[in-house]
């Protein structure tokens, strides 16, 4: 799989021949000013919850790419009410087999409303399982015990975890989360974008390192192969 970082919690994951874009927030992110979102291509846009720092570019990028929007019922209904019809609504506990592989929606402990105040349903995380690799995209969440279910029943190659604190779990809890999910390869997200979520990169990496895990903090615009 090939991963490109567009800042905050927005990643493009190319896996099993498809392009999956997560939580598009680019045009309003000053740290992503080097990204030309007009060049982004996607087959699917997966949205963990409704907050603007995850949906600000959802409608424009859906229209630009023609991607299928995958999210909960409420967010998919909102997208359709804005005139974009290509959606696949899901909800926590359910999975669906797409062309690239399996998507399962899992619990996230957070809140969810859309930028115009519309109710955004429950926030979610995603488990993606394909012949090309498996990963967990946690969305915005606190540390929670349901993560142990992922560790007990799944073997994820890597996990995208929020580490910025204040709005989500911070570094210490993310280290515990990586134990719960039994995954040693973590890509950090939801940090540095706002003053309240600025982190010390060296300290964060050291904490994961001492737990025997690898934390990757990607540069905005960087692509890596896994
Ligand atoms: Ni949020
Ligand atoms: Mn957020």
Q: Which ligand is closest in space to the CA of residue 108?
A: 1
In angstroms, the CA 189 to CA 166 distance is 13
Q: In what order do the strands lie in the sheet with 87-90?
A: 87-90, 68-72, 44-46, 18-22, 11-15, 2-5, 223-225
What are the distances in angstroms from CA 194 to CA 49, 78, 83, 199? 18, 26, 31, 10
Range 1-20 average pLDDT: 98
User: What pTM did the predictor assign?
Assistant: 0.98
pLDDT digits (tens, 9 = 90+) for 190-216: 999 999 999 999 999 999 999 999 999
Q: How far is the CA of 193 from the centre of ligand 2 (A)?
A: 10
Q: Which of 20, 27, 23, 26 lies closest to 6, judged by CA?
A: 26
For residue 35, the model assigns a pLDDT of 98
Q: How far is the CA of 83 from the centre of ligand 1 (A)?
A: 24
Tell which phi-psi region holds residue 194, choosing left (phi > 0), alpha (psi between -120 and 50) or beta: beta
Q: How far is the CA of 156 from the centre of ligand 1 (A)?
A: 23
For residue 22, the model assigns a pLDDT of 99
163 and 170 Cβ atoms separated by less than 8 Å: yes
Strands 68-72 and 87-90: parallel
Q: Which ligand is closest in space to the CA of residue 50?
A: 1
Q: Could you identify the residue written with the tokens 């991963």?
A: 3
For residue 123, the model assigns a pLDDT of 98
Q: Which ligand is closest in space to the CA of residue 49?
A: 1
Q: How far is the CA of 167 from the centre of ligand 2 (A)?
A: 7
Q: How far is the CA of 131 from the centre of ligand 1 (A)?
A: 30
Q: How far is the CA of 54 from the centre of ligand 2 (A)?
A: 6
Range 170-192 average pLDDT: 98
Q: How far is the CA of 48 from the centre of ligand 2 (A)?
A: 9
For residue 96, the model assigns a pLDDT of 98
Architecture of domain 2-221: 4-Layer Sandwich (3.60)
- 86 confidence band (pLDDT: 50, 70, 90): very high
Q: How far is the CA of 203 from the centre of ligand 2 (A)?
A: 22
Q: How far is the CA of 39 from the centre of ligand 1 (A)?
A: 26
Phi, psi angle pair for 156, to nearest 5°: -85, 140
pLDDT digits (tens, 9 = 90+) for 74-85: 999 999 999 999
Range 170-176 average pLDDT: 98
Q: How far is the CA of 52 from the centre of ligand 2 (A)?
A: 8
- 160 confidence band (pLDDT: 50, 70, 90): very high
């Amino acid at each position: 799989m090939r991963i490109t970082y567009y800042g905050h919690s927005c990643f493009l994951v190319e896996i099993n021949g498809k392009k999956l874009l997560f939580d598009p927030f680019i045009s309003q992110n000053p740290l992503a000013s080097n990204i030309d979102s007009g060049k982004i291509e996607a087959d699917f846009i997966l949205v963990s919850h409704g907050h603007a720092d995850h949906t600000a570019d959802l409608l424009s990028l859906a229209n630009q790419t023609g991607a299928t929007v995958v999210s909960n019922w409420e967010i998919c209904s909102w997208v359709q009410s804005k005139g974009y019809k290509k959606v696949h609504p899901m909800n926590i506990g359910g999975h669906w087999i797409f062309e690239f592989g399996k998507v399962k929606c899992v619990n996230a402990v957070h809140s969810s409303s859309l930028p115009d105040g519309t109710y955004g349903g429950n926030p979610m995380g995603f488990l993606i399982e394909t012949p090309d690799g498996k990963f967990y995209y946690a969305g915005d969440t606190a540390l929670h015990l349901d993560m142990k279910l992922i560790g007990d029943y799944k073997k994820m190659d890597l996990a995208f975890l929020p580490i910025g604190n204040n709005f989500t779990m911070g570094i210490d809890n993310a280290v515990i989360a990586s134990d719960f999910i039994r995954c040693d390869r973590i890509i950090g997200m939801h940090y540095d974008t706002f003053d309240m979520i600025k982190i010390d990169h060296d300290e964060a990496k050291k904490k994961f390192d001492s737990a025997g895990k690898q934390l990757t903090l990607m540069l905005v615009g960087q692509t890596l192969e896994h």
